[in-house]
Structure 1
Amino acid sequence: MRESAAERHDRLLALVRERGSARVSDLAGQLGVSPVTVRRDVETLAERGLLDRVHGSVSWPENGPAAGASGPGNGPVIGLIAPSATYYFAEVIRGAHEAAARAGARLVLRISDYRPEEDKARAEGLLAAGADGLLIAPAWRGADDQAAYGDWMARLPVPAVLLERTPAPGSPLDDLDRVCSDHRHGVLLAVRHLVGLGHGTPLLVARSDSPTALAVRSGYEDALATLGLSDAPPMIGTSGAEHDPARFEEAMAEVHKAVVSGGVTAALVHNDVDAIHLVQRLAELGVRVPEDLALIAYDDEVAALGDIPLTAVAPPKRQIGRYATELLVSRLGPLQDDDEPGQHLALLPRLRVRSSTTR
């Protein structure tokens, strides 16, 4: 994957910060780019007050990046690390940007592309660029990623807030501020709605490739226990039609079999895209939604846009970004209190009822 200018700037700043000063020609060799490219990068970074430039060399500003680099009103610079800038996290980023603007802060975004091994480098680049605090949505996919790629977050030299990630209880990261959706509550809303419509225990069709997916799976078990439901149909795992078409077709066939056998009349599907694909394929096989199968999607990104608008659980994504940014800004203010306790905020999803559960 080709390196972006922002990523190259991060590496350049990290090199200069480590050495104190460096010649442009040496930086070109270290970065693996032409001297012309480095000179252009240095000019850009010097204009932003992030570097001092003198006679073919650059140096780290004596007092760190210039105050003017902090953006509108000389407010704080907030770094945001997200696994993606699309689908689920687009709204999280939007909420963070709006809150930063209201606080007079500058938000700087870095994307890890769901590569957890890249998170630390993205954070180092943001710190080198003068970030006063970090919002971090680690690119964890499975339960082992925190242990493999997460310890560095507990040693950050600036305040940090985790977004939509719940570390292992008792781990060093459990002491960090965090703002998350309460996905267990969201799943409970969905299951209770389907049961309230007269359906038996609903089927769960879910991915396993993200913290949200894992939380939905765990929340399903909790919801069944809370509502006293038994005889749950076996969960059907899927990797999504776009990632693993063969596995998706197998999952679709399992759902079809469960419905035509008469054992299942309702389902919760994570996520929206998989739910829309599933409805389309089931229709081709004669299974109608909602007449034969009441269906709820989880995420509510595009659920309303299907041929049949899908009832969906909507995590408060925009508010996650807003609350997390406001919390971080409060940690950076001149009146910050070192004795202020850390916060774990859980925001409740909502259920948006549409045609896929109403006959």
Structure 2
Amino acid sequence: MRASAAQRHDRLLELVRERGTARVADLADRLGVSAVTVRRDVEALAERGLLDRVHGSVSWPERHALPQKRAGGGGLVLGMLAPSATYYFAEVIRGASEAAERAGARIVLRISDYRPAEDRARTEGLLEAGAEGLLVAPGWCGPEDTATHSDWITELPVPSVLLERLPVPGSALDELDRVSSDHRHGALLALRHLVGLGHGTPLLVARADSPTALAVRSGYGEALGALGLRAPAPVIDSVPAEQDPEGFEAAAQALRAAVVSGEATAALVHNDVDAIQMVQRLAELGLRVPEDLALIAYDDEVAALAGTPLTAVAPPKRHVGRQAAMLLFERLTGGAAQAADEPRRHVTLLPRLNVRSSCGAGGGSGDVQA
């Protein structure tokens, strides 16, 4: 099965991180792709500050190098576990790095590649590398991962902040500091915008393979109730087109059938990449966005780059990373007495809706808060 660009980027980062420096030709051989593809990937990752390029070679940035334990007076070392360093989490990492730099701290980064069984070992590696506090975004993909791979987080020996993850209510992990986006509110923003444009109950086309996807699904149901909308047909299950062409085609055909039958004139699609590919496939099937279907994407990573710029819900990814790093820094510098007395915090940040052209609302290519 061919890996997606995001998976390839994460594997490339892992290889460079392990070696420190690697030649493009060697990376192409290890990844099983052409040197041209690797050069394109390296350029994209370098633009995000995740890699350094040096005359045909690629280096792990010194600012992400594994430090040793502090020795009197040095800046704090913050460990960060993320499931990915690309797409959604690239911005979360950037926000945390910016806040750490302003506070005179350093970030040590480890990537789990959405393998929750490896989260604990990766985090122990951060501690061995000198991390004095931890920003933890487990690689959970579904509720079973939350139940099976979470208890260890409550046993960490240093102050820790949970990132973009919601534990089981009332669990021990629920008592940990955390910072997250309110994806339920994001779903409400999307539906309210579509209903305000005169559409009936919008459909949801969504994945089910990540905490964000599950939160969007849950938020969609709550938004229907809040807006007094009738329940539509079941959620259309979305899958990556490059990994499951048949599943993606089934989703496209289901959405087309709903539009042709008059069941729906609007849809919310999670995520950006799926939304762009869905618009392309619908065009091949004779449906136009926004003329036949008003569409909103979720994530706003690349939605503005679509042929018809997509209106999109934008979770505050960089702000999540920034707020989490600031909260962790405060825990580490507040002193033991203050830490014992200070209540734990659950910081929830609201997404925004960036209105563009895909709803036919005259949004153009600009971003407007809604």
* Residue in structure 2 matched with residue 12 of structure 1 by the alignment: none
Distance 2:343 2:67 in 1: 34
Instruction: Please give the per-residue CA displacement for 1:55-98, whole angstroms capped at 9, x wherever unaligned.
Output: xxxxxxxxxx3426xxxx71110000000000000000000000
Instruction: Please give the per-residue CA displacement for 1:255-296, whole angstroms capped at 9, x wherever unaligned.
Output: 111111111100000000000000001011110100100000
* Residue in structure 1 matched with residue 350 of structure 2 by the alignment: 348
Could you tell me which amino acid in structure 1 is paired with residue 285 of structure 2? L
Q: TM-score, normalised by structure 1?
A: 0.81
Q: Does the alignment pair 1:249 with 2:249?
A: yes
Distance 1:48 1:204 in 2: 43
Q: Secondary structure at the match of 1:118?
A: helix
Alignment RMSD, CA only? Answer: 2.0
Q: Does the 8 Å contact 1:201/1:233 carry over to 2?
A: no
Instruction: Please give the per-residue CA displacement for 1:35-69, whole angstroms capped at 9, x wherever unaligned.
Output: xxxxxxxxxxxx9884xxxxxxxxxxxxxx3426x
* Residue in structure 2 matched with residue 97 of structure 1 by the alignment: 97
Matches within 5 A, 1:194-205: 194-205=194-205
Q: Does the 8 Å contact 1:202/1:233 carry over to 2?
A: no
Distance 1:167 1:8 in 2: 35
Q: Residues 158 and 8 (structure 1 numbering): CA distance in 2 closer, same or farther, change over 3 Å?
A: farther
Q: Secondary structure at the match of 1:74?
A: coil
1:147 CA displacement: 1.6
Instruction: Please give the per-residue CA displacement for 1:303-349, whole angstroms capped at 9, x wherever unaligned.
Output: 00000000000000000000000000000005451200000000000
Q: Which residue, 63, 68, 71 being the options, matches 1:67?
A: 71
| Structure 1: gaps (5+ residues) | 10-46, 51-64
* Residue in structure 2 matched with residue 84 of structure 1 by the alignment: 84
1:234 CA displacement: 2.1
1:167 CA displacement: 0.2
1:6 CA displacement: 5.4
Q: Does the 8 Å contact 1:78/1:135 carry over to 2?
A: yes
* Residue in structure 2 matched with residue 140 of structure 1 by the alignment: 140
Q: Does the 8 Å contact 1:7/1:125 carry over to 2?
A: no
Distance 1:4 1:272 in 2: 27
* Residue in structure 2 matched with residue 358 of structure 1 by the alignment: 360
Q: When the two structures are aligned, how many residues end up with a matched partner? A: 305
| Structure 2: gaps (5+ residues) | 1-10, 21-64, 362-370
Q: TM-score, normalised by structure 2?
A: 0.79
Q: Does the 8 Å contact 2:67/2:108 carry over to 1?
A: no
Instruction: Please give the per-residue CA displacement for 1:129-165, whole angstroms capped at 9, x wherever unaligned.
Output: 1100000110000001022111100000000000000
- Superposed structure 1 runs of 4+ greater than 4 Å apart: 1-9
1:112 CA displacement: 0.3
Q: Secondary structure at the match of 1:214?
A: helix
Q: Does the alignment pair 1:177 with 2:181?
A: no
Matches within 5 A, 1:1-40: 4=15
Distance 2:226 2:131 in 1: 44
Deviates more, 1:144-153 or 1:91-100: 144-153
Q: Residues 49 and 293 (structure 1 numbering): CA distance in 2 closer, same or farther, change over 3 Å?
A: closer
Q: Residues 176 and 49 (structure 1 numbering): CA distance in 2 closer, same or farther, change over 3 Å?
A: closer
Instruction: Please give the per-residue CA displacement for 1:99-129, whole angstroms capped at 9, x wherever unaligned.
Output: 0000000101000001001110111001011
1:243 CA displacement: 2.3
Q: Whose Rg is larger?
A: 1
* Residue in structure 2 matched with residue 107 of structure 1 by the alignment: 107
Could you tell me which amino acid in structure 2 is paired with residue 341 of structure 1? P
Q: Secondary structure at the match of 1:192?
A: helix
